Amino acid sequence: MKTVYNDKHVQHAASHEFFRGRLVPAFEIPARADYVLHTLQASDLGPIMAPQDQGLQALARVHAPAYLDFLSGAWGEWQRLGGEGDAFPAVWPVRSLRADVLPQSFAARMGLFSMDSGTPLTAGAWPAAYWGAQCSLTGLDLVLAGERSAYVLSRPPGHHAGADFFGGYCFVNNAAVAAQAALDRGLKKVAILDVDYHHGNGTQAIFYERADVFFASIHGDPMTEYPFFLGHADETGAGAGLGFNANFPLPAGASNALWFERLDAALARLQAYAPELLIVSLGVDTYGGDPISHFHLDRPEFARLGQRLQRFGAPTLFLQEGGYATEAIGHNVLAVLRGFESGA
């Protein structure tokens, strides 16, 4: 299996974040990708390659132009204002406040284009996110050219980013960019399976009223787990997309047996949809030792996940999402990819 690696990820290196109201050392750090890279380099999985730059057009197919314009220039603006350290949003246009007017204030636009205070805007956030999307597009090129699968090793992750907001460590939604690009290149039906501990709210929202992308997610129950406000089982799509969204929330501490029951249920829905491409938002924060998550998967379960995905039978693009047990992430990712390669 070929890996597309985003070496620009190191430019996005936050020192701290706000986690449920407290300022704590950042969980989403360069070492996450470094450990995966080193593990892959020591394996015989396959070649590791650089992405090709395909420009902004594919990103603009899923993200609002005003949002991309803000994101690409935000760090420079923050510096011109004399900002010190990473930038954090502090105010949001909730409910009765207006979100249809673009304010002049940088602080106001930070809030307009964000969903939480836990996602630091760093000097390298935009280049890291931009090149992550290019990695996703390059991985898609490999699969559409005939590769059975490809793996995209990048950070920051992407599945919490919506059409016009960042959050949950995510700035550009790589899964959505790849899915839309696949459709633009002639595919008719694409499936996205999100196995991250946290619901991919941004991906769901982007495709919620569409039938050409089926989104399925297994995740921690949003009644208690981030992102809290999306990911419930009764969210099944709307309009043309009704019936093409399937959420499988699980309580914190759910057993591995129950997790795999939900995986089988999600894959059955996707199998009936018969997609031409399967995109996997591969979060391995379902690991039992993850510091911000509450499932119990370990290497044998990750290998089993890979085997199950191989039996699904569709060309498959793996995109790296979460996983914050830094020293374990490489082994967990490799277990999934080796499981996929070996089959059942």
Say whether pLDDT at 344 is over 80. Answer: no
Rounded Cα gap, residues 263 and 260, in angstroms? 5
Task: Calculate ∠ Cα 66-129-340, nearest 5°.
Answer: 130
pLDDT averaged over every residue in the chain: 98
Q: Which two tokens stand for residue 277?
A: 């491409």
Say whether pLDDT at 186 is over 60. Answer: yes
pLDDT at site 343: 79
* Residues 265-320: tens digit of each pLDDT: 999 999 999 999 999 999 999 999 999 999 999 999 999 999 999 999 999 999 99
* Residues 24-68: tens digit of each pLDDT: 999 999 999 999 999 999 999 999 999 999 999 999 999 999 999
pLDDT band for position 244 (cuts 50, 70, 90)? very high
What is the mean predicted confidence (pLDDT) over 203-219?
99
Could you tell me which residues are beta bridge partners of residue 214?
191
pLDDT at site 21: 86
Active site residue 160: yes
* Residues 142-166: tens digit of each pLDDT: 999 999 999 999 999 999 999 999 9
Domain boundaries, the chain: 2-61+123-342
pLDDT at site 4: 99
Only one residue has tokens 């921690």, namely 220
* Residues 74-101: tens digit of each pLDDT: 999 999 999 999 999 999 999 999 999 9
Assign 3-class secondary structure to the chain.
Answer: CEEEECHHHHHCCCCEEEECCEEEECCCCHHHHHHHHHHHHCCCCCCEECCCCCCCHHHHCCCCHHHHHHHHHHHHHHHHCCCCCCECCCCCCCCCCCCCCCCCCHHHHHHHCECCCCCCECCCHHHHHHHHHHHHHHHHHHHHCCCCEEEEECCCCCCCCECCEEECCECCCHHHHHHHHHHHCCCCCEEEEECCCCCCHHHHHHHCCCCCEEEEEEEECCCCCCCCCCCCCCCCCCHHHCCCEEEEEECCCCCHHHHHHHHHHHHHHHHHHCCCEEEEEECCCCECCCCCCCCCECHHHHHHHHHHHHHHCCCEEEEECCCCCHHHHHHHHHHHHHHHHHCC
Domain at 2-61+123-342, CATH homologous superfamily: Histone deacetylase domain (3.40.800.20)
- The active-site residue out of 63, 159, 160, 198 is 160
* Residues 170-185: tens digit of each pLDDT: 999 999 999 999 999 9
Residue 25: φ, ψ to 5°: -60, 140
Rounded Cα gap, residues 330 and 38, in angstroms? 8
Q: What percent of the chain has pLDDT over 90?
A: 99
Q: Which of 3, 2, 4, 10 is nearest to 52 (CA)?
A: 4
Count the Cβ atoms, other than its own, within 10 Å of residue 277: 21
CB-based contacts of 280: which residues, under 8 Å, 6+ apart? 192, 193, 194, 195, 309, 316, 317, 318, 319
